[in-house]
Amino acid sequence: MTTPLVSAAELADALPRGDVLVLDGRFDLADAGKGRREHRDAHVPGAVYVDLDDDLSDLSRQGLGRHPLPDNARLSAALSRAGWRPGRRVVAYDDANGALAAARAWWLLRLVGETNVQVLDGGWSAWLAAGLPTESGDVAPAPSHVSVHIDETAMVGYEELQRRLAANNVLLIDARAAPRFRGEVEPIDRVGGHVPGAVNRPFADNLDANGRFKPADALRAEFSALLGAHAPKDVVHMCGSGVTACHNLLAMEHAGLHGSRVFAPSWSGWISDPARPVAKG
């Protein structure tokens, strides 16, 4: 299996061979067009821009959170525009240490059966810090016309989550910052707090002081302490909208703890039904 992370130096070595598709997923929740503008200004040579809202989500779907998953047709169209084809190596990056669209793109490709996909460790800032070359302008690859099928069993929906929470046979890990999890602040969603029974593991805890993922053995020790008697396959990740949750899943995979899943609607989806309970503190 391909390791989930790749360093800037390793990616730079691979680019001249022309067999890697680089996806630039920079995105700003407060300014949805900022990432695309920054891509035009400078990006990893050959990188194709993918938009969190337009390509990696379907905002028209109701009741599924702020970043509903795209359906098969929408994701197929996005991957076709990017020039992806099954088996082609993919490296995704963003400017949020993987926590926005990079980890989301990685996870979506895994949902359609692609294993040769990685996230650039440290993202755009690591590329710049290494003094590696950049280019500007739009990148328009030749489309590939692929058709993909999302594995619905590789994610968790409302019914399964509620059933397993009631049975106490799941560990629900929330990747949001601790004040949001506790309900002390809520800058985005209409209700603060968390799903009753969830535990908090802010995605930032996966990173070192340089914004790169901690070593696999360190992450394995930290997550193992959090999991306790739970097997990795009994872990479900969530966040505000199903995006940064992918960062915790990626960290577990990097640590060799395989098989956890994502509750894609996450907090914003959970609170779309006022009947669902909310915990604080």
Same domain, 80 and 157: no
Same domain, 11 and 144: yes
CA distance 152 to 159: 13
Measured in degrees and rounded to the nearest 5, phi and psi for residue 236 equal: -125, 130
pTM for the full predicted model:
0.96
Same domain, 182 and 248: yes
Of 133, 150, 167, the position where a domain reaches its end is 150
The per-residue pLDDT for 48 is 98
Same domain, 14 and 127: yes
Same domain, 146 and 157: no
Asked whether residue 117 is assigned to any structural domain, the reply reads yes
Same domain, 112 and 125: yes
The per-residue pLDDT for 1 is 57
Q: What is the number of structural domains in the chain?
A: 2
Q: Give the domain CATH number at 171.
A: 3.40.250.10
Asked whether residue 250 is assigned to any structural domain, the reply reads yes
Q: Which domain holds residue 42?
A: 5-150
Same domain, 11 and 89: yes
Q: What is residue 55's three-state secondary structure?
A: coil
Of 107, 123, 150, the position where a domain reaches its end is 150
Same domain, 15 and 146: yes
Which of 21, 238, 239, 271 is the catalytic position? 239
Task: Give residue 104's identity as a one-letter amino acid code.
Answer: R
List, edge to edge, every strand of the sheet that includes 48-49.
Answer: 5-6, 117-120, 89-93, 20-24, 48-49
Q: What is the mean pLDDT of each run of 10 residues along the chain (281 residues)?
A: 91 95 96 96 98 96 94 97 96 96 98 97 98 96 95 95 96 98 95 97 97 98 98 98 98 98 97 96 93
Residue 246 is among the residues annotated as catalytic for this protein: no
